[in-house]
Structure 1
Amino acid sequence: MSATTSQHDLFEALDASAFAFTRRAWVDAAPARVYDLVSDVSAIGRWSPDATDVRFDQGAGPRVGAWFSGRNRRDGREWATRSQVVRADHGSVFAFVVGGAEDGIVRWNWTFHPQGRGTVVEQSWRLLRLDPVLGSTRGDLDALRDHMTNSVEATLISLAQWITED
């Protein structure tokens, strides 16, 4: 990288839209119920193949500005994350940014749309900026996006099954 080229410039050249996706699933529960399940971040380990031990900071909860911590696993590695809630509209949207609203690296967005007797749940992932922890090449970022796509699909399937069995 030259003195005149920043990681931000490289990211822009990569086209950030290539590092975002949304997946959907219908679940047999009302939007408010699904929102309550998803916004209770301590429950994410029930559905996510990657996230464990997620907890809001003491006294925090699913509201804008709240912080939580969690552990993630991928490719035999494990690491801790800090995330901040950036949107919390009960029954319709729950979103957070890994690394915080001001300088985060990934945004997770959940939306809940009523359909029939249930809800269409959308889970979106968007890379906000480059960070060495995510990889240093286009191939690294493509692999990360592909892994996260598979993880989200597994999470949505597990969430739908859990709701059906509960």
Structure 2
Amino acid sequence: MEWTGQVYADTPYVSAETYIDAPPECLWRYVSDIHLMPELSAELRHVEWLDGATGPRAGGRFLGRSTHPALGNWETVSTVVDCEEPRRFAWAVGDPAHPMSVWRFTLRPQGAGTVLEQWVQLGPARSGLSAAIDAMPDKEQKIVFVRLREFEAGIKANLAALKVLAEREK
């Protein structure tokens, strides 16, 4: 990831993609399984569907519990904002109309396999990162850049793990 000098108000984003030798239908069950994500994430520790939901659907909500050495422990409620099997699965953290972040998996068929992309956008609503920015406003660009690099590393690790899971099953 290159330095962009972005600030939080820019709603910066980062993404990565990989080719997986498995069809989108095979990958869908992994990317839409919120219970798998804590196994892949360095921050996310626990998730659970809310409101009686048992699986992915647009409007479905889930609780997430996370931890980070610099940010501490926190809980969020996310709402599934895009659920088109087997093409896209996305959720907004916090208020879906004004989220703290938005996360998305996109599955694109290519040959016998799939190009899988994971994408995340910070903001526009305030998040746990906002306290660090408030405390050190002169370092906002660096804080945003470091957080995006953390997300990029996590995304690349997620994609590698999903590749192993799906190709093993194939």
Instruction: Normalising by structure 1, report the TM-score.
Output: 0.82
CA contact (8 A) 2:30 2:162 kept: no
1:138 corresponds to: 141
1:75 corresponds to: 69
CA contact (8 A) 2:8 2:122 kept: no
> How many residues align structurally?
153
Q: Which has the higher contact order (CA 8 A, sep 6+)?
A: 2
Q: Does 1:119 align with 2:122?
A: no
Q: Distance in 1 between matches of 2:39 and 2:168?
A: 13
CA contact (8 A) 2:61 2:77 kept: yes
Q: Which runs of 5+ in 1 are unaligned?
A: 1-9
Structure 1 residue 96: deviation in Å?
0.4
Alignment of 1:1-166 (within 5 A): 11-12=8-9, 15-16=10-11, 19-60=12-53, 61-75=55-69, 77-131=72-126, 133-134=128-129, 135-136=132-133, 137-166=140-169
Q: Distance in 2 between matches of 1:165 and 1:78?
A: 34
Structure 1 residue 95: deviation in Å?
0.5
Q: Distance in 2 between matches of 1:31 and 1:68?
A: 24
Q: Distance in 1 between matches of 2:31 and 2:127?
A: 29
CA contact (8 A) 1:47 1:156 kept: no
Q: Percent identity?
A: 27
Instruction: Normalising by structure 2, report the TM-score.
Output: 0.81
Aligned Cα root-mean-square deviation (Å): 1.9
Q: Which amino acid in the other structure matches residue 35 of structure 2?
A: S
Q: Distance in 2 between matches of 1:99 and 1:132?
A: 9
Q: Which runs of 5+ in 2 are unaligned?
A: 1-6, 134-139
